[in-house]
Amino acid sequence: MAAVQSRVQELRALVAPTSTTASGTTTGGAAAASGSTAAAFQTALAEATGTSGVAGTATTTGTTTDTGIAPGSGVTAQDLIATAKKYLGVPYVWGGESLSEGGLDCSGLVLRSLTDLGVDGVPRTARQQMHLGEKVASMDDAKPGDLLVFGGGTHIAIYLGDGKMIDAPKPGGHVNIRDVYATPTAIRRILPQEGAAVAAAPDALATDAASLASLLGGGGGSPLGALSGLAPSGQETSTTDASRLAWELLAGVAS
């Protein structure tokens, strides 16, 4: 019953008139609700992945994203895909968000999959979920695990790559994999790709090396110059070697 009431509220929001504030700014109750719910989701997802959860702030790896989710934080886009695939064949049930309700609808599949990954506070409806994460410009830029929103927020799916997506399509259907059938209204990226931490590592090493060199006072005018004296006698210290040595020193593992 709660799920049905939630969908009724969503349908009411679709046709609700907007209101004008004293400053002349037009606002809508649905947009405000979706914004606050999305913010709650970002916080919950950050807690589940061990990151700051504040957009534009440093994360545990030193890399920032609009979602506050850092590469290598644990939960990835591929995890989301694998979890969603566990529900292949589950019947479509309008308002369904768990198997105890007999099935799932489109946004219920997204909610259920993220909840299975330990993320709490996921927005319930497609219109709310379409405000999560960061905007992706087009399908040319879409990556597996991105959320595809259709019809202005009336339907949502999880992109699999190669023009395929997984979704719970409509009454009488079931969770399945099919072609992306239309140009999405919005594409949202909420999780990093697997291996993103590996790609980010050189930048993190260089940043730490420069920081350490600065603390040591530099040398020869180069920010990494101070590290040259730490190299074995008679050997040159390249930028990469210095970066790695700085990383080890900062991690407390160098002898």
Q: What is the CATH number of the domain that holds 154?
A: 3.90.1720.10
Q: Given 159, 189, 219, which residue is the final one in a domain?
A: 189
Asked, for residue 16, whether it belongs to a domain, the answer is no
pLDDT (tens digit per residue) in 149-185 = 999 999 999 999 999 999 999 999 999 999 999 999 9
Tell me: do 173 and 206 sit in the same domain.
Answer: no
Asked, for residue 17, whether it belongs to a domain, the answer is no
Greatest pairwise CA separation for the chain in angstroms: 76
Given a cut of 50, is residue 90 above it in pLDDT? yes
Asked, for residue 245, whether it belongs to a domain, the answer is yes
Higher per-residue pLDDT: 186 or 71: 186
Taking the C-alpha atoms of residue 100 and residue 8, their distance in angstroms, rounded to an integer, is 20
Tell me: do 215 and 149 sit in the same domain.
Answer: no
Q: How confident is the model at residue 87 (pLDDT cuts 50, 70, 90)?
A: very high
Asked, for residue 21, whether it belongs to a domain, the answer is no
Asked, for residue 185, whether it belongs to a domain, the answer is yes
Amino acid at 196: A
Tell me: do 51 and 151 sit in the same domain.
Answer: yes
Q: Worst-scoring range by mean pLDDT, 52-61, 79-88, 114-123, 151-160?
A: 52-61
Q: Given 141, 170, 189, which residue is the final one in a domain?
A: 189
Q: Given 189, 211, 239, which residue is the final one in a domain?
A: 189
Tell me: do 69 and 93 sit in the same domain.
Answer: yes
Tell me: do 220 and 135 sit in the same domain.
Answer: no
Tell me: do 141 and 43 sit in the same domain.
Answer: yes
Asked, for residue 119, whether it belongs to a domain, the answer is yes
Tell me: do 91 and 205 sit in the same domain.
Answer: no
- Quickly list DSSP for the chain: -HHHHHHHHHHHHHHPPPEE-TTS-EE-HHHHHHHHHHHHHHHHHHHHHTS--STTS--TTS---TTSPPTTSS--HHHHHHHHHTTTTPBB-TT-EEGGGTEE-HHHHHHHHHHHTT-----SSHHHHTTSSEE---TTT--TT-EEEETTTTEEEEEEETTEEEE--STT-BSEEEE--S--SEEEE-SPPTTHHHHHHHHHHHHHHHHHHHHHT-BTTBTTGGGGGGSPTT----HHHHHHHHHHHHHT---
Q: Which domain holds residue 177?
A: 2-11+30-189
Asked, for residue 22, whether it belongs to a domain, the answer is no
Which pLDDT score, from 0 to 100, does residue 74 have? 82
Tell me: do 76 and 6 sit in the same domain.
Answer: yes
**Domain count for the chain:** 2
Asked, for residue 103, whether it belongs to a domain, the answer is yes
Tell me: do 156 and 45 sit in the same domain.
Answer: yes
C-alpha to C-alpha distances, 96 to 71, 133, 155, nearest whole angstrom: 31, 23, 14
Tell me: do 210 and 229 sit in the same domain.
Answer: yes
Tell me: do 60 and 90 sit in the same domain.
Answer: yes
Which pLDDT score, from 0 to 100, does residue 192 have? 94
Taking the C-alpha atoms of residue 186 and residue 172, their distance in angstroms, rounded to an integer, is 26
Tell me: do 90 and 65 sit in the same domain.
Answer: yes
Average pLDDT over residues 213-234: 49
Q: Worst-scoring range by mean pLDDT, 14-28, 63-77, 93-107, 220-234?
A: 14-28
